[in-house]
Structure 1
Amino acid sequence: MSKVILITGGSSGIGKAIGCYLSEKQYTVYGTSRNPSKLAETLPFTLLPMDVTIPETIDNAIATIISSEGKLDVLINNAGIGITGPVEETPTEEIRQAFETNFYGPINVMKAVLPHMRRQKGGLIVNITSIAGYMGLPYRGIYSATKAALEITTEAFRMETKQFGIQMANIAPGDFATNIAAGRYHAPVLEGSPYKEAYGNTLEMMNAHVDAGENPVQMAKVVHEIITSNSPKIHYKVGARMQKFSIVLKRILPDKMYENILLKHYKLK
């Protein structure tokens, strides 16, 4: 029987690329979107309404899949939002919303699917995090924190669920050519702000990196590799060579030396 796969945030970007790729591989794919009826494009997989911050919508989507397919083999936690800004000037409610979507949201979905996977005596959960979650990046500190929290929690969760035959893995993407910047919360570049020039320049650089990013089908191929693996790794990194190498540098360099590299990269010194 074909594996049944659920991808949160499947209507665009990385989630859409994964859904299309896995559909071509003859998996039974369901994606989610907060407003699937508003999507003009026809996708090769079913889109269900879900907001990962609203538990009832999660339960309804999963119940629909179980009712139609009788099982759920793979969850890909992809739904997320971007957020940029000086930490001092980022509204607290926006910080909370970022954690609600990027951290609590995936946990909500994992909690909802685990009883079904436990009954099946097996399943796979893949959490899409970020290379930004391996380091505190200037003017992306909140985003980095949400993804770092999910990375670490997955490490613990993976050990807790191993006894039930359930596997978990993280995939940390770098910059990919998607529309994430359009949906990202940007703290405004304020007139008179002490961060105005530095933040404005960094914001332009971040958007340029996304525009020149990798093809998201690379992420889809790694997801397929994990699905077909008997023993997935804990962490996967996907992206440009230097972005992946930055994680290695953080591990081996003294803290201040690494900080100086970031400051120079973002033209903050």
Structure 2
Amino acid sequence: MEPKIALVTGASRGIGEAISRELSKNGYITYAASRGSNEHQNDNHLIHLPMDLSSEASIREAFSIIEQKHGVLDVLVNNAAVMINKPFEQLEQEDWEDTYTTNVFGPIQCIQRAFPLMKDRGGRIINISSIMTERPLPQSALYTSSKHALNGLGEALAEEWYPNRIFLTKLCIGATYTDLWKGVEGFTQDDMLHVDDVARTAAFIAQTPLHVRMDEIKMTPPKGVL
């Protein structure tokens, strides 16, 4: 059987790394894309791929590698994101540009380049979203608004591309324990999802046959947002 091909952004650590490992464990040739990809070793199913979401040339080069080697892409996971927590009145133009470049404009370019690699045999695009789009927290206006933009794009393309059997799923997650939370007072690993929880769900979406459409999956810790 011809192997399935997956690409995960923001895959050097945390959720992206866990999703990449889970997909490769399930037989996908998985490209784990990040700016620090050269720091990791490859194996037969897990290949670290340089990609800077702020650079159109870098994104084009990464997709060119996949196209030349395989000619197809079955799964794209838009995971890479940055979060700047500040009061709205303190946000500067640079904060907006940095956040939207990584959280919105980079994924848009990835989705555009994924389409021609998926259109012949179908595929799945998983956009990692946040429960803060439904239950926002204070000082999260920048991050939350960027996730709303990605959600809206995915919902529109789900209607546009289903005739091609290209399905977009919003994987909406609550607080997930990563290095960002280490040492933060008042929050413990026990209060949050684990990265492997998210990875298993992403792999479930990826492996579901293409006669099934899943527009949204929501997962949170027992307390909800946190």
Matches within 5 A, 1:135-214: 135-180=135-180, 208=187, 212-214=191-193
Query: Matched residues in 1 for 2:84 and 2:189: separation?
Result: 14
Query: Matched residues in 2 for 1:210 and 1:84: separation?
Result: 20
Corresponding pairs, count = 220
**2:115 match:** 114
Distance 1:22 1:153, change over 3 A: same
Letter in 1 for 2:80: A
Contact 1:81 1:180 in 2 (8 A): no
Structure with the bigger percentage of strand: 2
Q: Percent identity?
A: 30
**2:194 match:** 215
**1:48 match:** 49
Letter in 2 for 1:53: S
Distance 1:135 1:92, change over 3 A: farther
Return the index of the structure with the highest Cα Rg: 1
Structure 2: gaps spanning 5 or more residues:
none
Contact 2:41 2:48 in 1 (8 A): no
- Cα displacement string for residues 23-60 of structure 1 (whole angstroms, at most 9, x for unaligned residues): 111211111011222x2x54651111111221111111
Distance 1:11 1:239, change over 3 A: same
Cα deviation, residue 108, structure 1: 1.2
Moved over 3 A (4+): 41-44, 209-212
Structure with the bigger percentage of helix: 1
Query: Matched residues in 1 for 2:25 and 2:84: separation?
Result: 33
Query: Matched residues in 2 for 1:111 and 1:181: separation?
Result: 33
**2:33 match:** 32
Name the SS of the counterpart of 2:224 in structure 1: helix
Name the SS of the counterpart of 2:137 in structure 1: coil
Name the TM-score, length of structure 2 as normaliser: 0.89
Query: Matched residues in 2 for 1:99 and 1:181: separation?
Result: 22
Query: Matched residues in 2 for 1:145 and 1:53: separation?
Result: 18
Report the RMSD for the aligned CA atoms in angstroms: 2.1
Query: Matched residues in 2 for 1:179 and 1:104: separation?
Result: 25
Query: Matched residues in 1 for 2:204 and 2:89: separation?
Result: 41
Distance 1:80 1:211, change over 3 A: farther
